[in-house]
Structure 1
Amino acid sequence: MEILVTGGAGFIGGHLAEQFVADGHDVRVLDNLDPFYDIGIKEHTIERCRERAESGDGSYEFIDGDVRDEETVTETVSGAEMIYHQAAQAGVRPSVENPRKYDDVNVDGTLNILDAARAADVERVVYASSSSVYGKPKYLPYDEDHPTTPVSPYGASKLAAERYACAYNEVYDINTVALRYFTVYGPRMRPNMAISNFVSRCLNGEPPVIYGDGTQTRDFTFIEDVVTANKRLLREDAADGEAVNIGSTDNIEIRVLAEEIRDMLAPDLELEFAERHDADAEHTHAGTEKAAELLDYEPTHTIREGVEEFVEWYRANREWYEPLVLSS
C-alpha cells in the first residue's frame, strides 16, 4: 500500500513510518524538520526507516517540506492510498506565546492535507488529535462525549483541525478518523516531556523537576499501543467519521511518577519543584471503550511497564540520544 505520513520524522510519525516500511508498505514522509527539539533525533529516525527499507520489502521516501505549502502538499499526496497526518506544531506552553503559528500549521496545514486528499481520491486520512481538546474535566475518565473546551491555543488548534477532518467525512467523499492521543511516550520521544526529562536528569545525577505540586495526573500511552491502533485503520472502516480516544486507561500523579523514576535510577536525589504553567492540564484519563468497540483496541503497557521499557531503551541508546536530549 502507498502510505503518506506527514510529520513522519517526528516521534509518533517516525514510529508509524518505520513500522509501515517493516510491514512491506511503500512509505512517503513529509516533514519540515522543525527544530522544536534537536533535529538529530529526527535524522536518526529517518536513517532507521531507510535501513528498514533496504533490508525488507517496503520502500521509503523522505520529502523535506511543509504542510503549509499547498503545492508541496498536492504533489506529495498524489498517489497515496492512505494518509497518516501527524504533522503539527507541538507544545502546549509555547502555543500561549505564539498562537498564530499553531493555527497556521495545525489548522491550515490540515486543510491543505484534506483538500489534497479529496482531489487525489485518497482512501482514508487518519488525523492525529490530542487529549488537549478536552480541557478542564467535568468527569473522568474522559469519554468522547465529554465537552471539548480546550484551555490552550494548542488544544484549540487541534480541536479545530479535528472538526474539519470529521466534517470532510460528512460532506465530501473522503473517509477520515481522528485519534485523540493521551501523552504518548517511548523510544525516541521528545526530550522536553516529563518522562524523558525525569530519566535523563536522574541518570546524570540531577533531581527531577516537577511543575506545580505534582498532584496533577496524566494518562501516559506507550508508543507501541499507538502504532497498533493506527495499523488497524489500514483495513478497518468502522471508525470513519469518528473521534476516538487512544490512551492507556491508566493514570498516575506526576509526583509519584517522578518518585518512582528517581527511586529506580538515583534514590538519593531530592525532587525539585517549579511554577506550574496555567495552560497545563490538571488531569487526563482516557476512556477507551469506543476504541475497543471500533478498533478492537486494548493497551498492552501499564505506565510502570512502559517506563521500565523506556529506561532500558534509553540506556542502550544513551550514546547518541542523551546528548541530543541535554542540548534541547
Structure 2
Amino acid sequence: MHVLVTGGAGFIGGHLAERFAADGHDVVVLDNLDPFYDLDIKRHNIETARDAAETGDGSYEFVEGDVRNAELVSDLVSEADYVYHQAAQAGVRPSVENPRKYDEVNVDGTLNLLDACRDSGIERFVMASSSSVYGVPRSLPYEETHPTTPVSPYGASKLAAERYAMAYSEVYDLPAVALRYFTVYGPRMRPNMAISNFVSRCMNDEPPIVYGDGTQTRDFTYIDDVVDANVTLLDTDAADGQVLNIGSTDNIEIRTLAEEIRDQLSPDLELVYEERHDADAEHTHADTTRAQELLGYEPSHTIREGVGKFIEWYRDNRDWYEPLVRG
C-alpha cells in the first residue's frame, strides 16, 4: 500500500514512517523541516525510516515541503492509498505568542489535505489530534464526549482541524479518523518535553525543574502504543467518522514523575520549582474505552515502564541526542 505521512520527520510521524516501511508499505514523507527544535533529530528520523525500508520490503521517499502548499499536497495525495496526517505546528506555550501561525498550519494545512483526499478517493485519512482540545476538566478521565474548551491557541487549532475532518467524513463520505494523543513520549521524542528534560538534567547532576507546584497530572503515552493504534487503522473501518482517545489510562503527578526519574539517576538532587504557564493544562487522563472497543486498543506500557525504557534508550544514544535535548 502507498502511505503518505505528513510531518513524517517528526517524533510520531517518524516512528510511523519507520513502521510502515518496515512492514513493506511504500511510504512518502512530507515534512517542511521546521526548526522548532534541532533538525538533526528530524534528519535522524528520516535516516531511521529509510534504513527500515532498505532492510524490509517497503520503499521510502522524503519530500521537503509544507502542508500549506495545496498544489504539492494534492500531487502527493493523488498517489496515496492512506494519509496519516501528523504535521502540525506544535507547542502549547509558543502558540500563545503566535496564534495565527497555528491556524495557518494546523487548520488551513489540514483543509488542504482534506480537499485533496476528498477529490482523490483515498482509503482513509487519519489525523493526529490532541488532549489539548479538552481544556479544563469537568470530570476525569476524559471521555470523547467531554466538553471541548481548549485553553490555548494550539488546542483550539487542533479542535478546529479535527472538526473539519469529521465534517468531511459526514458530508463527503470521506473515511476519516482523529486520534487524540495524550502526551506521547519515547525514543527520539521532541526535546524540551518534561520527561526528556528531567532525564537530561539528572544525568548531568542538574536538578529537575518543575513548573507550578507539581500537582498537575499527565496521562503519558508510550510511542509504541500510539504507533500500534495507527497501524490498526490500515485494516479496519470501524472507527471511520470517529474521534478516539489514545492514552495510557495511567496518569501521574509531575512532581512524582520528576522524583522517580531523579531517584533512578541522581538521588541527591532537590527538585526546583518555577512559575507555571497559564496555557498549561492542569490535568489530563484518558478514557480509552472507545478505542478499545473499535480498535482493540490496549496500551502496553505504564508510565514507569515506559520511562525506564526511555532512560535505557537515552543512555545508548546519549552521544548524539543529549546535546540537542539540553540545548
Which residue of structure 2 lines up, in the alignment, with residue 206 of structure 1?
206
Which residue of structure 2 lines up, in the alignment, with residue 158 of structure 1?
158
CA distance, structure 2, for counterparts of residue 126 and residue 153 of structure 1: 22
Which residue of structure 2 lines up, in the alignment, with residue 245 of structure 1?
245
Long gaps (5+) in structure 1: none
Instruction: Give the TM-score normalised by structure 2.
Output: 0.99
Which residue of structure 2 lines up, in the alignment, with residue 293 of structure 1?
293
Runs of 4+ more than 2 Å apart: none
CA distance, structure 2, for counterparts of residue 230 and residue 322 of structure 1: 28
Which residue of structure 1 lines up, in the alignment, with residue 78 of structure 2?
78
Secondary structure at the residue paired with 1:111? helix
Long gaps (5+) in structure 2: none
Alignment of 1:306-325 (within 5 A): 306-325=306-325
Amino acid at match of 1:192: N
Alignment of 1:1-328 (within 5 A): 1-327=1-327
Amino acid at match of 1:122: I
Amino acid at match of 2:150: P
Task: Work out the percentage of aligned pairs sharing the same amino acid.
Answer: 76
Secondary structure at the residue paired with 1:83? strand
CA distance, structure 1, for counterparts of residue 253 and residue 52 of structure 2: 37
Deviation at 1:173, TM superposition (A): 2.8
Amino acid at match of 2:129: S
Secondary structure at the residue paired with 1:307? helix
CA distance, structure 1, for counterparts of residue 231 and residue 103 of structure 2: 28
CA distance, structure 2, for counterparts of residue 136 and residue 54 of structure 1: 46
CA distance, structure 1, for counterparts of residue 55 and residue 289 of structure 2: 38
Question: Considering only aligned residues, what root-mean-square deviation do their CA atoms show, in Å?
Answer: 0.5
CA distance, structure 2, for counterparts of residue 255 and residue 173 of structure 1: 46
Secondary structure at the residue paired with 1:34? coil
Deviation at 1:326, TM superposition (A): 1.9
Instruction: Give the TM-score normalised by structure 1.
Output: 0.99
CA distance, structure 1, for counterparts of residue 263 and residue 49 of structure 2: 35
Amino acid at match of 2:161: A
Aligned length: 327
Secondary structure at the residue paired with 1:126? strand
Amino acid at match of 2:62: F
Amino acid at match of 2:144: E
Amino acid at match of 1:240: D
CA distance, structure 1, for counterparts of residue 302 and residue 55 of structure 2: 32
Q: Is the 8 A contact 2:25 2:57 kept in 1?
A: yes
Secondary structure at the residue paired with 1:229? helix
Instruction: Write the deviation string for residues 226-266 of structure 1: whole angstroms up to 9, x where unpaired.
Output: 00000110011110000000000010000000000000000
Q: Is the 8 A contact 2:219 2:286 kept in 1?
A: yes
CA distance, structure 2, for counterparts of residue 88 and residue 250 of structure 1: 26
